[in-house]
Amino acid sequence: MTSQRVTVLKDLLEFVGIEGERLNLLWVSSAEGPRFAKEITEFTEKIRSLGPLNWNYRWAVPHSTLMAEAASK
């Protein structure tokens, strides 16, 4: 169930202009400290390689602001 939600969320991120690669789901036991550290390090490197988030600002603007802007035109 969780993996399905993550898949949908990745699609939603892509829809709004954010790379789906910026979201990762990993199942790690508390007994797997070294594995967790390795995975987090790799994920951090991956995010850094993607560079800054070049998100379309209009998605970040509150709906009420967009409505007011549209009404003034």
Per-residue pLDDT tens over the stretch 27-46 = 999 999 999 999 999 999 99
What mean pLDDT comes out for the span 49-53?
A: 90
**pLDDT reported for residue 57:** 56
What are the extents of the domains in the chain? 2-71
pTM tops 0.75, yes or no: no
Q: Could you tell me what percent of the chain has a pLDDT over 70?
A: 77
Contact 20, 11 (CB under 8 A): yes
13 is written with which tokens? 């991120």
59 pLDDT more than 80: no
Q: Could you tell me what percent of the chain has a pLDDT over 90?
A: 52
